[in-house]
């Protein structure tokens, strides 16, 4: 009888669905010695944080994002008036001195007096305009001080509200009615915007940048007034101008009388000294100064806050305490 040899018995292997996993089912991740590799740290797969792009602003291309970093040019123009002092000198005394001059001496005296009067008006006008522009710009900058901070915070939430408030500001007493202040950005922008009166170009700027423009202009006029010694020298400059102008008027009066009597055979245009002086005045005084961006924090700190604060809300009255025995 021949005996059958049975195949060797092996442990049961399950490969079907639902079978228990065996050592062959382990992940095949090995290093050189057969040990399982630890997964890399989660930060290895972390993507770098991307800064979201800011939404497009209404500011046109080419303008700086922050006008603190630039040195714009500030131009101020106006025609200051001169206060006429009370009459203290005898006009007849000056008239007699002029009558003693011959025609040539009188005309030369008029030419020299005109030149001196024009120079005196320019000196007085520059001091006056620097002071008036400084005081006026401080009011404008103080009105916008609520925007001093990152973004549009404070009283004015957008440029339109801020510009509306600035347009409602009236020039202080004594300021020239034709006072204008313009800020011009350096290359490559070359954009010129009127600050006084409030120009349309400001509508293209964020509120905080509008505020920065007025601080730049204020700082420039503070420096200009200081260099001219305007606070201390204005009254003296005006007194000198008045003296020169009084003499010029007396010379013109003497010239006109001689012409009426045909004692001065020259063309009228050559001896209209008083009229030529007022033509010089009508041109106004222009101050142009570069604002120093490095001095911005100093000038910003000098602004007196004049923005109204909200009225405090009335506190709610406490509930009455019931007396014993009351329901």
Q: Which residues of 172-194 are buried (b: 16+ CB within 10 A; e: fewer)?
A: eeebbeebbbbbebeeeeebebe
Q: Over the stretch 111-151, which tens digit does the pLDDT of each residue have?
A: 999 999 999 999 999 999 999 999 999 999 998 886 654 55
Q: Do residues 268 and 258 lie in contact, with contact meaning Cβ atoms separated by under 8 Å?
A: no
Query: What pLDDT, on the 0 to 100 scale, is given for residue 24?
Result: 46
Closest by CA to 271, choosing from 154, 104, 128, 153, is 104
Answer yes or no: pTM beyond 0.85: no
pLDDT for residue 189: 78
State the Cα angle at 292 between 289 and 294, rounded to 5°.
175
d(CA 241, CA 272) in angstroms, rounded, equals 19
Contacts of 212 (CB under 8 A, 6+ apart): 66, 67, 68, 296
| Res 207: pLDDT | 86
Do you know the residue count of the chain?
327
Task: Assign 3-state DSSP to the chain and report helix, strand, coil percentages, each to 5.
Answer: 45, 5, 45
Largest interatomic CA distance in the chain: 174
Rounded distance between C-alpha atoms, residue 73 and residue 296, angstroms: 14
**Domain-wise residue ranges, the chain:** 72-83+92-301
pLDDT (0 to 100) of residue 265: 81
- What does the DSSP assignment read for 124-184? HHHHHHHHHHHHHHHHHHHHTGGG-SSSS-SS-SSHHHHHHHHHTPPPPTTS-TT-EEEEE
Ranges of the chain with pLDDT below 50: 1, 10-25, 29-30, 43-49, 51-65, 149, 152, 306-311, 313, 327
In terms of Cα–Cα distance, which of 166, 240, 171 is closest to 203?
166
């Amino acid at each position: 009888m021949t005996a059958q040899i049975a195949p060797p018995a092996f442990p049961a292997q399950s490969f079907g669905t639902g079978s228990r996993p065996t050592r062959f089912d382990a992940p095949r991740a090995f290093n050189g010695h057969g040990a399982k590799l630890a997964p890399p740290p989660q930060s290895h797969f972390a993507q770098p944080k991307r800064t979201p792009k800011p939404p497009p602003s209404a500011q046109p291309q080419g303008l700086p994002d922050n006008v603190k970093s630039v040195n714009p040019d500030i131009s101020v123009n106006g025609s200051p008036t001169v206060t006429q002092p009370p009459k203290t000198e005898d006009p007849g005394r000056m008239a007699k001195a002029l009558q003693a001059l011959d025609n040539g001496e009188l005309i030369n005296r008029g030419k020299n007096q005109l030149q001196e009067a024009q120079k005196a008006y320019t000196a007085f006008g520059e001091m006056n305009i620097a002071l008036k522009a400084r005081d006026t710009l401080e009011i404008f900058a103080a009105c916008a001080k609520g925007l001093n901070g990152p973004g549009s915070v404070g009283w004015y939430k957008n440029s339109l509200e801020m510009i509306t408030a600035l347009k409602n500001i009236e020039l202080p007493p004594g300021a020239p009615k034709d006072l204008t202040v313009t800020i011009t950005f350096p290359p490559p922008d070359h954009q010129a915007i009127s600050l006084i009166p409030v120009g349309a170009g400001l509508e293209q700027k964020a509120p905080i940048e509008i505020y920065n423009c007025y601080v730049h202009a204020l700082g420039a006029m503070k420096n200009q007034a200081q260099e001219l010694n305007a606070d201390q020298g204005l009254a003296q400059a005006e007194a000198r101008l008045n003296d020169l102008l009084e003499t010029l008027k007396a010379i013109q009066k003497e010239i006109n009388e001689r012409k009426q009597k045909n004692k001065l055979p020259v063309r009228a245009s050559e001896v209209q000294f008083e009229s030529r002086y007022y033509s010089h005045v009508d041109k106004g005084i222009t101050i142009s100064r570069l604002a120093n961006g490095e001095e911005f924090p100093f000038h910003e700190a000098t602004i007196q806050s004049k923005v109204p604060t909200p009225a405090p809300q009335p506190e709610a009255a406490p509930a009455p305490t019931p007396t014993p025995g009351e329901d």
